[in-house]
Amino acid sequence: MKFQTSTKLQIPRGTDDIMPGEVEQWQWIEQKAREICSLYDYHEIRTPMFEHTELFQRGVGEATDIVEKEMYTFTDRGNRQISLRPEGTAGVVRSFVEKKVFGQPQPTKWYYMGPMFRYENPQAGRRRQFHQFGVEAFGSPDPLLDAEVIALGMHYFQALGLKDVRVEVNTLGDVESRLQYREKLIAYFEKHIDELSAEAKSRLYKNPLRILDSKDERTKEIAAGAPSLHDHLNDDSRKHFDTVLRALDLLGVPYVVNHRLVRGLDYYTHTAFEYTVDIPGAQAGSIGGGGRYNGLIEQFGGPSMPGVGFGIGLERVLLALGAQQVETPSKAGLDCYLITMGEEAKLVGMKVLQTMRQAGLRAERDYLDRKMKAQFKAADRLQAKTVAILGEDELKQNQINVKQLATGEQVTIALDQLVAYIKQLT
């Protein structure tokens, strides 16, 4: 039979198979995230991978790149408009509102991990299916909670052994400050309207803040002269930001204030931040980002309640770990590889193998009728600590031969002693 691969049978662009051998790294970084979250009392929530499209339109924002250009949207068989989630916050906030968790004692601290979907131009660290680890804390306006969230992310990077992660922080002010600033910004850009890029023009009345992080050279120059939001902050907004920065100082979190940081999602108020690290070969230096969103819960039909959180891109975390050559734990080898010789030993070996596994030992055997030498090779390949050899003679006497592969030391023991013997070696 000729094996042909049509492109339809290949993996979709921008997605990845995470293969055995790689998946151990994923399990390790996921495990670390769980450990850190438990230290800070964040609890896992799992929401669906798709939601009604409207949720993201209203939450993430109509005029954002994510909603305008990057969503995987389709009509389902019941004629509903559905989108694969491009990010985690909207779904988690929906759940908080829908399950009326706002009625319980606050704050509510949740975390999540899983695949997200954005139709982007794929490259290293920019995928169409990617994975985020995120946290969201609801129900408290305290700036110290912003600091906790930022510090939690840094603690995570530190626990992984990732170095030189920087935090850029900014404040977008509260709704009042932002509205005032918005007017000023529109007035300023209107004066330069003919020189703005087409994209900036289209954003002028929908989302003028986004013009500040435009990639177009001329627009960037114009944006550099734009009024600063910091000059338009009201007292509350200024005080909130100052406290966040003071807390970060106290916690020793190295940050820089970046007045141009606006982020690509509409829901932020007050604090916005990004974690960055150099990843050679990858254009995207942001391994995570987040901020406070004090209007979102209300916008989704809940009470007026604040929230703050972040999302960290796990593909980028792994790229950064690789670039810094951080040793991640590799797959653990076997406790025992069972070699059998002869028909009867082959069959009885099944029982011996099962006994080891039931006792909590990692054990494997040959299923391809290999010769003894080849079975030893397999034991090496699978990094077995010991090899147990069951031949016709041993079987007759209810014994088994055990060899430690590191030292070559070999003993013959009673078959029913096998588990205890291997356990005392490990």
Q: Is the dihedral of CA 142, 95, 61, 117 positive or negative?
A: positive
Residue with tokens 């080849």: 374
263 to 282: interface string for ligand HAM, x by CB under 6 A: -xx-----------------
CA distances from 164 to 137, 157, 158, 332 (A): 26, 9, 10, 29
Closest to 148 measured CA to CA, from 264, 41, 306, 294: 41
Q: What is the dihedral of CA 152, 154, 160, 161, to 10 degrees?
A: -150
The verdict on 87 binding ligand HAM (CB under 6 A) reads yes
Question: Under the criterion CB under 6 A, does residue 289 sit at the interface with ligand HAM?
Answer: yes
Give the residue, chosen from 310, 353, 379, 395, that forms a contact with ligand HAM under the rule CB under 6 A.
Answer: 310
Which position's Cβ is nearest ligand HAM? 313
Judged by DSSP in three states, 15 sits in coil
88 binds ligand HAM (CB under 6 A): yes
Q: Tell me whether residue 126 or residue 184 sits nearer to ligand HAM (CB atom).
A: 126
Q: Which of 286, 324, 401, 404 binds ligand HAM (CB under 6 A)?
A: 286
Please identify which residue in 147, 287, 319, 415 interacts with ligand HAM, judged by CB under 6 A: 287
Q: Which residues, other chains included, contact 224 with Cβ-Cβ below 8 Å and sequence gap of 6+?
A: none
What minimum distance in Å lies between the beta carbon of 288 and ligand HAM? 5
| Three-state secondary structure call for residue 363 | strand
Quick check: 344 and 370 in contact, CB under 8 A?
no
CB of 355 to ligand HAM, least distance (A): 46
Site for ligand HAM in 364-383 (CB under 6 A): none
Distance CA 93, CA 199 (A): 30
Taking alpha carbons only, the member of 19, 22, 88 closest to residue 312 is 88
Which residues have a Cβ under 8 Å from the Cβ of 125 and sit 6 or more positions away? Answer: 279, 282, 283, 284, 313, 315, 316, 319
Decide: is 126 part of the binding site for ligand HAM (CB under 6 A).
yes
Asked if residue 53 binds ligand HAM (CB under 6 A), the reply is no
233, 171 contact by CB (below 8 A) = yes
118 makes contact with ligand HAM (CB under 6 A): yes
CB of 378 to ligand HAM, least distance (A): 38
Q: Does 288 bind ligand HAM (CB under 6 A)?
A: yes
Please tell me whether residue 291 binds ligand HAM under the rule CB under 6 A.
yes
Q: Are strands 269-276 and 166-171 parallel, antiparallel or unpaired?
A: antiparallel
Of the pair 60, 353, the CB lying nearest ligand HAM is at: 60
Q: Minimum Å distance from CB 181 to ligand HAM?
A: 21
Q: Which of 51, 146, 315, 366 binds ligand HAM (CB under 6 A)?
A: 315
Site residues (vs ligand HAM, CB under 6 A): 87-89, 118, 120, 125-127, 130, 132, 134, 136, 264-265, 286-291, 309-311, 313, 315-316
